[in-house]
């Protein structure tokens, strides 16, 4: 099989996270482990893409974890040296070949291109790549 | 606020989907809407990253939906013209500025770099960007 990495793709951030978290050292490992509320500041040129998202909705935010080390393939889960090393694809470590963060949040408020969301562990300035609705049952789609 | 899209990032596929689905026209909209089982063919250089993933595990697969139109910001949900247009970020449409697919599958078998998974709606040849475990309760992490 040919090496798949021969073809690269370019991702273009659609906005940035604004958060009181300024360092990954201070950030909780997941949103539901004590992360603060934060703002998603979306670019004006993608604002039409937000149409229909409402206060109270649960959404998935994909980010680019810009401080990650892309060369790492094995880690101790949660940085706990007493736990045996795992492949990064079996963990939520930020360090991985394509450091895309996956965050499930609730929309608290929307003001134009500025969306207030609950419990986001991404640090201030983290690039946002995509937003998706959380899927309900098949009947609700 | 400065335009966030001024800084781009490069994603490098870690493998490809092998599937009996060869056209997006034939593909179901979500895995649980009748998608076939498929194979994830991972590149040899990321194999160490798979360590710890086991048969029966539920994982999240992030893909690059290479046939998507990145310029589209509004769509009729599920292509149904009777439904009012929505912003792409309020849908799971493949067309969106960064066409990253999010798929939840179960691991059926693992043979080295080749992973058999359940119900994947991505078509044959779709680049794979990342794998992540589905998170259990906080106590299980």
How far apart, in Å, are the Cα atoms of B92 and each of A88, B30, B95, B128? Answer: 26, 9, 9, 17
Highest mean pLDDT among A71-75, A136-140, B74-78: A71-75
Binary contact (B48, A73; C-beta < 8 A): yes
CA distance linking residue B7 with residue B5, whole number of Å: 5
Provide the chain B residues 16-55 that lie in CB contact (below 8 A) with chain A.
16, 29-30, 32-33, 41, 43, 45-46, 48-53
As a whole number, mean pLDDT of residues A41-51 equals: 96
* pLDDT, tens only, A58-74: 999 999 999 999 999 99
d(CA A30, CA A35): 7
pLDDT at residue B141 in the model: 64
Please work out, in degrees rounded to the nearest 5, the angle formed at the alpha carbon of residue A35 by the alpha carbons of A33 and A41.
Answer: 145
Handedness of CA A82, A87, A91, A92 (dihedral sign): positive
Q: Spell out which residues of chain B touch residue A43, defining contact as CB-CB under 8 Å.
A: 1, 3-5
B81-134 pLDDT, tens per residue?
A: 999 999 999 999 999 999 999 999 999 999 999 999 999 999 999 999 999 999
B2 has pLDDT over 60 = no
Nearest-by-Cβ selection for B51 from A16, A33, A87: A87
More confident residue, B1 or B27: B27
Return the percentage of chain B with pLDDT > 70, whole number. 94
Count other Cβ atoms within 10 Å, centred on residue B16: 22
Q: How confident is the model at residue B136 (pLDDT cuts 50, 70, 90)?
A: confident
Cβ atoms A89, B50 nearer than 8 A: yes
Torsion of CA B107, B109, B110, B111, to 10 degrees: -160
Question: Distance (Å, rounded) from C-alpha B118 to C-alpha B34?
Answer: 10
CA distance A44 to chain B (A): 8
3-state class (DSSP) for residue B124: coil
With 0-12 / 13-18 / 19 or more C-beta atoms within 10 angstroms meaning exposed / middle / buried, residue A66 is: middle
What confidence tier does B35 reach under pLDDT thresholds 50, 70, 90? confident
CA gap A53, B44 in Å, rounded: 40
% of chain A surpassing 90 pLDDT = 75
Q: With beta carbons under 8 A apart, name residues in chain A contacting B33.
A: 138
């Amino acid at each position: 099989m040919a090496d798949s990495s021969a073809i690269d793709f370019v991702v273009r951030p659609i906005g940035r996270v604004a958060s009181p978290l300024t360092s990954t050292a201070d950030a909780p490992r997941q949103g539901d482990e004590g992360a603060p509320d934060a703002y998603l500041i979306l670019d004006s040129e993608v604002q039409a893409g937000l149409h229909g998202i409402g206060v109270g909705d649960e959404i998935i935010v994909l980010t680019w974890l810009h401080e990650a080390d892309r060369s790492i393939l094995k880690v101790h889960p949660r940085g706990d040296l007493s736990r045996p090393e795992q492949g990064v694809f079996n963990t939520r470590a930020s360090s991985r070949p394509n450091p895309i963060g996956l965050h499930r949040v609730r929309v608290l408020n929307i003001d134009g291109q500025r969306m207030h969301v609950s419990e986001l562990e991404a640090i201030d300035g983290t690039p946002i790549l995509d937003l998706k609705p959380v899927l309900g049952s098949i009947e609700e789609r």
